[in-house]
């Protein structure tokens, strides 16, 4: 748009008024929107890329958990530790052992029935009272876990260390 000629002594306030400025075109707006969208996408992608070297899930640093003193577990008893997903058994002769309550099929929590057997409520696997597979899609029995005595005298279970079925700690 050509600028109007200014006459000497003429009132220029009308020429400088927003009414006579050229309006923004739709093309300018869409161009700016595209640039800002591209910039925003780049920033978000960079934030995601910077987060990649950091793990989002940290492995457990110690797989041994203390479950209490030996006298916590009465003779001839079965104690379910729900927060740890395991069963702790103490026999009449004082032998102590722990079995995982996690089904070996897909990781469901097996429930203990009144007759001592374990049943996976999700897929129907059935385990004997010592963890052996009786029926169902589970490929192997419930895991027996290593039980030991900590230096402070408490019983500890290593949730990542499997032992042969029948292994007991005499307390």
The verdict on 31 and 70 lying in the same domain is no
Among candidate residues 51, 76, 96, the one where a domain is terminated? 51
The sheet with strand 133-135 has its strands ordered as: 111-112, 118-119, 126-127, 133-135
The predicted model gives 3-31 an average pLDDT of 70
Among candidate residues 51, 76, 93, the one where a domain is terminated? 51
With respect to residue 149, please indicate whether it lies within any of the assigned structural domains.
yes
Closest to 67 (Cα-Cα) out of 150, 167, 170: 150
With respect to residue 3, please indicate whether it lies within any of the assigned structural domains.
no
The verdict on 40 and 85 lying in the same domain is no
With respect to residue 56, please indicate whether it lies within any of the assigned structural domains.
no
| CATH classification of the domain holding 77 | 2.102.10.10
pLDDT at 11 over 80: no
pLDDT confidence of 34, banded at 50, 70, 90?
A: very high
pLDDT at 35: 95
The verdict on 30 and 103 lying in the same domain is no
The verdict on 44 and 82 lying in the same domain is no
pLDDT at 153 over 60: yes
For 6, residues 6+ apart whose C-beta sits below 8 A from its C-beta are 12, 15
Total domain count for the chain? 2
Range of the domain at 39: 18-51
With respect to residue 10, please indicate whether it lies within any of the assigned structural domains.
no
Closest to 145 (Cα-Cα) out of 155, 130, 133, 160: 160
With respect to residue 1, please indicate whether it lies within any of the assigned structural domains.
no
With respect to residue 2, please indicate whether it lies within any of the assigned structural domains.
no
DSSP letters spanning 22-33 = PPPPHHHHHHHH
With respect to residue 7, please indicate whether it lies within any of the assigned structural domains.
no
Q: Which of 60-64, 75-79, 131-135, 152-156 shows the lowest mean pLDDT across its residues?
A: 60-64
Give tens-digit pLDDT for 60-119: 567 888 888 888 888 888 888 888 888 898 888 878 889 988 888 888 888 888 888 888
Q: Which value, in Å, is the radius of gyration of the alpha carbons in the chain? A: 36
């Amino acid at each position: 748009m050509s600028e109007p000629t200014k006459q000497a002594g003429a009132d220029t306030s009308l020429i400088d008024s927003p009414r006579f400025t050229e309006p923004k075109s739709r093309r300018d707006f869409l161009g700016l929107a595209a640039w800002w969208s591209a910039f925003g996408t780049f920033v978000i992608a960079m934030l995601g890329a910077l987060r990649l070297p950091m793990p989002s899930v940290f492995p457990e640093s110690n797989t041994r958990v203390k479950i209490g003193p030996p006298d916590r577990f009465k003779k001839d008893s079965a104690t379910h530790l729900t927060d740890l997903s395991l069963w702790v058994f103490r026999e009449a002769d004082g032998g102590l052992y722990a079995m995982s309550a996690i089904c070996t099929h897909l990781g469901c929590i097996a429930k203990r029935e009144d007759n001592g057997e374990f049943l996976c409520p999700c897929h129907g696997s059935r385990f004997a009272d010592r963890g052996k597979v009786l029926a169902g899609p589970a490929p192997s029995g419930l895991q027996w876990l290593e039980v030991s005595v900590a230096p402070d005298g408490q019983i500890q279970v290593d949730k990542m260390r499997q032992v042969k079925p029948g292994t007991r700690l005499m307390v």
